[in-house]
Amino acid sequence: MDRLYLDHNATSPLRPECRDAMLDAMSAPRNASSVHAEGRAAKQLVEKARKSIAGAISCPPTSIVFNSGGTEADHTAILGFARGGPKVRRLFLSATEHPAVPAAAEKSGLPVETVPVLKDGTLDLAWLEKRLGTYDPQADGPFLLCTMLANNETGVIHPVKEAAQIARKAGGYTMVDAVQALFKIEIDFSTLGADLLALSAHKAGGPVGIGALVVTPGLGFEPLLGGGGQEENRRAGTHNVPAIAGFGRLAEVASVSDYQALAGIRDRIEAGLPQGVTVHGQSAPRLPNTTCLTAPGFKSETQVMTMDLAGIAVSAGSACSSGKVKRSSVLGAMGVPEEEAATSLRISLGWDTPAHAAERVLTTWTTEFERISSRAA
């Protein structure tokens, strides 16, 4: 039986173009800090990748600080900026952030306020405007607003531009976790309004363990790691040249319009679901590749296992390191009752998803759902 992998928001299979770029980069010793010919060749690969990624998101190449991925970028944005930037005194976190963000916020020791989301999963701009309307940057100090661009579980896209404008007006800074959005929708750093942007390569077919923090020119932050002077003293540690080369190649080959085309498959899945099944965030702007549905009485674990036995890899909300299914705080923040959240399923498509995926998902899933529903009736 052919496997059908529909868990791209957990990680996407490596694109062959990225694998080739990585293999090529692995074929010689590659320390981009060495002055000899091999080192200079490695540096060239790093700088080429930096340019390609910067071109894809419209930022100056020097704004890109390579690191190990989204988790590190989130931590550097929050901890590094809190310590070495304009000494922020408070953090505002959207209620649906990836766990890396609240974890970093907790480590910072700064007071944290949660920005609620609306029922459709988008950031509550009215709440933000009201709260920040009374914020006094002179007395209260600068703050950092942390909001993701697109949610990993529902695919819901936050109104980041508007949120960043509200924050700026109140004397604050904005960091945006764009890990799930990168290459799936257009990102223009020059107009987004974000001061810091967290990226990762592996959600769109690039290698795991490589990402970047994009930093507005002139903005100070304290590096998390000390040691070598790599990345202009902004991130110590020998460059992961093959992974950087793979990330750079991804920026050259990934196409937002290819991702847009996946919305057709996602929409066919959603349109074919039986009555009584709801799709979270369906009325909000969403990533074209993600659907998060809830099926009364059909537990998330059972759905994931059923689909797995039928050869289809999907997940219950976000993948978590223990491999266990946890209640989704994202759905909780959207006001979804716990028993409903316990029956949610995330299907996330990607660059290798075949056109027939919708039909196969629907046949497998609805057969099992109807069997379970008729047993319960």
Cα angle 114, 119, 271; round to 5:
140
Short-list 294, 334, 287, 336, CA closest to 157: 287
Q: Give me the least distance between CB of 210 and ligand PLP, in Å please.
A: 8
Does residue 315 belong to the site contacting ligand PLP (CB under 6 A)?
no
* Interface segment toward ligand PLP; rule CB under 6 A; list 45-53, 172-180, 297-305, 359-367: 172-180
For ligand PLP, the closer CB: 200 or 300: 200
Does residue 207 belong to the site contacting ligand PLP (CB under 6 A)?
no
For ligand PLP, the closer CB: 49 or 132: 49
Q: Give me the least distance between CB of 14 and ligand PLP, in Å please.
A: 14
Residues 14-33 interacting with ligand PLP (rule: CB under 6 A)? none
Q: Give me the least distance between CB of 180 and ligand PLP, in Å please.
A: 5
Q: How many CB atoms lie within 10 A of CB 167?
A: 25
331-340 burial, b if ≥16 CB within 10 A, otherwise e? Answer: bebbebeeee
One residue of 180, 303, 343, 364 binding ligand PLP per CB under 6 A: 180
From the list 18, 146, 292, 320, the catalytic residue is 320
Does residue 8 belong to the site contacting ligand PLP (CB under 6 A)?
no
* Residue 53 DSSP code: H
Which residues of the chain form beta strands (DSSP E)?
4-5, 64-67, 90-94, 112-115, 143-148, 173-177, 196-200, 211-215, 278-279, 290-294, 312-313, 344-348
For ligand PLP, the closer CB: 152 or 230: 152
Does residue 43 belong to the site contacting ligand PLP (CB under 6 A)?
no
Does residue 152 belong to the site contacting ligand PLP (CB under 6 A)?
yes
Does residue 98 belong to the site contacting ligand PLP (CB under 6 A)?
yes
What is the signed CA dihedral for 158, 126, 147, 335, rounded to 10 degrees?
Answer: -70
Residue by residue, DSSP assigns 177-203 as: E-TTTBTTB---HHHH--SEEEEESTT
Residues 129-148 interacting with ligand PLP (rule: CB under 6 A)? 148
Inter-residue contact 155 to 287 (CB < 8 Å): yes
Whether 146 is catalytic is: no
| Token pair 């809830």 in the structure block, residue | 294
Q: Give me the least distance between CB of 293 and ligand PLP, in Å please.
A: 19
Residues 60-79 interacting with ligand PLP (rule: CB under 6 A)? 69-71, 74
List, in order, residues 6 or more apart from 377 with CB less than 8 Å away: none
Does residue 155 belong to the site contacting ligand PLP (CB under 6 A)?
no
* Interface segment toward ligand PLP; rule CB under 6 A; list 28-36, 117-125, 177-185, 285-293: 177-185
Q: Helix/strand/coil (H, E, C) string of 274-294?
A: CCCCEECCCCCCECCCEEEEE
Does residue 53 belong to the site contacting ligand PLP (CB under 6 A)?
no
* Interface segment toward ligand PLP; rule CB under 6 A; list 40-48, 130-138, 176-184, 321-329: 176-184
Does residue 200 belong to the site contacting ligand PLP (CB under 6 A)?
yes
> What are phi and psi for residue 20, nearest 5 degrees?
-60, -45
CA 38 to chain centre: 34
What is the rounded CA–CA span in Å between residue 368 and residue 377? 14
List of residues contacting ligand PLP (CB under 6 A): 69-71, 74, 98, 100, 148, 152, 177, 179-180, 200, 211
Catalogue the active-site residues. Answer: 320
